[in-house]
Amino acid sequence: MADRIPLSKAPERWIRKKYLPHIWCPGCGLGTVLRQLVEQFEKLGWNNDEVVVVTGIGCTGRASGYVNAQTIHTIHGRALPTATGIKMARPDMHVVSLLGDGDGVGIGGNHFIHAAKRNIGITAIVVNNRIYGMTGGQASPTTPTGTKSSTTPYGNLEPSMDISKLAFGAGATFVARAHTANPVYLGQVIRRALEHDGFAVVEVLSQCPTYFGRYTGMPDPVEMVKWFQENTFMAKSPYDEQEDKIPVGVFRDDKNFRELSKAYRALWEE
């Protein structure tokens, strides 16, 4: 049976083998996200030199090093302004940014809001592991209230931030949430985001067994992935409610706004 499923060519074409093995922990969700991203590049038939991958600093930030495309690893929090500069200079490029939750909506949160407001053509994939992974498990803006972390040993006192609602409110023209328990669906959502001409946000619920898992008594990545499966529901809006579960789905896909770099070019033509 197995040999009848054709092997994907995506890893061969889109992963820089010379940088392997990667630094991610066994069972980390980042591998799933990266795999689904490069699968979509392949499915879309894009060339390696027309894709730009921009990241900040963090475990997620490391992704840019592994993708065989035009890549730039910037500083913590500044991936989106960098991506903005690239898109404005080269509207013909596919600009993709992978952001950690701290990187994307914490230290770089202001940029997130403004990139959404501008409707600049960037695909922002926010890998939400609900903790600062790289620096050792401190509470991040998306750490749920009451959750333990290395800086909140008795539970987080602050309310947590909802990335999809933030993107929604800030005016991102494509907003979706998916998780690593369903890689096929994750891939489909990423593809729609990549095809979207405007600022597209995909919030990915992803497991960090090493820190989030350990602090919440769920150090087994399989259990964490199951948790995503059992605690999410398909929804049309990030505001939909069903018990205590987290809504996932494509929440907005609005083609009515002009993408910024193209709007500029159009202005020049006039």
Ligand X SMILES: Cc1ncc(C[n+]2csc(CCOP(=O)(O)OP(=O)(O)O)c2C)c(N)n1
**42 and 187 in contact (C-beta within 8 Å)?**
no
By CB under 6 A, residue 261 contacts ligand SF4: no
* CA–CA gap between residue 250 and residue 193 (Å, rounded): 9
Contact window for ligand SF4 (CB under 6 A) among 23-31, 44-52, 152-160, 192-200: 23-31
Among 14, 41, 112, 211, binds ligand SF4 (CB under 6 A): 211
103 binds, among another protein, ligand SF4, ligand X, none (CB under 5 to 8 A by kind): ligand X
By CB under 8 A, residue 107 contacts another protein: yes
**180 and 32 in contact (C-beta within 8 Å)?**
yes
Strand partners, 232: 246
* CA–CA gap between residue 131 and residue 202 (Å, rounded): 18
By CB under 8 A, residue 109 contacts another protein: yes
Give the footprint of ligand SF4 on residues 31-70 (CB under 6 A). 59
Query: Given the complex with ligand X, which of 57 and 200 has the nearer CB atom?
Result: 57
209 binds, among ligand SF4, another protein, ligand X, none (CB under 5 to 8 A by kind): ligand SF4
Give the nearest distance from C-beta 251 to another protein in angstroms: 24
Angle at alpha carbon of residue 28, lines to 1 and 111, rounded to 5°: 120
By CB under 6 A, residue 126 contacts ligand X: no
H-type alpha helices, the chain: 10-14, 30-43, 63-66, 79-89, 101, 109-118, 163-170, 183-195, 214-215, 221-230, 260-269
Query: Given the complex with another protein, which of 101 and 259 has the nearer CB atom?
Result: 101
Among 14, 112, 132, 251, binds ligand X (CB under 6 A): 132
Q: How many CB atoms lie within 10 A of CB 38?
A: 26
Give the nearest distance from C-beta 59 to ligand SF4 in angstroms: 3
Is cis: bond before 21, omega within 30 of 0? yes
Contact window for ligand X (CB under 6 A) among 2-10, 131-139, 175-183, 259-267: 131-139
* CA–CA gap between residue 144 and residue 227 (Å, rounded): 15
By CB under 6 A, residue 125 contacts ligand SF4: no
* CA–CA gap between residue 118 and residue 247 (Å, rounded): 26
Binding mask 168-187 for another protein (x = CB under 8 A): --------------------
* CA–CA gap between residue 36 and residue 63 (Å, rounded): 12
**Based on C-alpha coordinates, what's the Rg of the chain?**
18
By CB under 6 A, residue 203 contacts ligand X: no
**Residues lying near ligand X in the complex (CB under 6 A):** 57-60, 76, 100-103, 127, 129, 132-135, 140
Binding site for ligand SF4 (CB under 6 A): 24-25, 28, 30, 59, 129, 133, 208-211
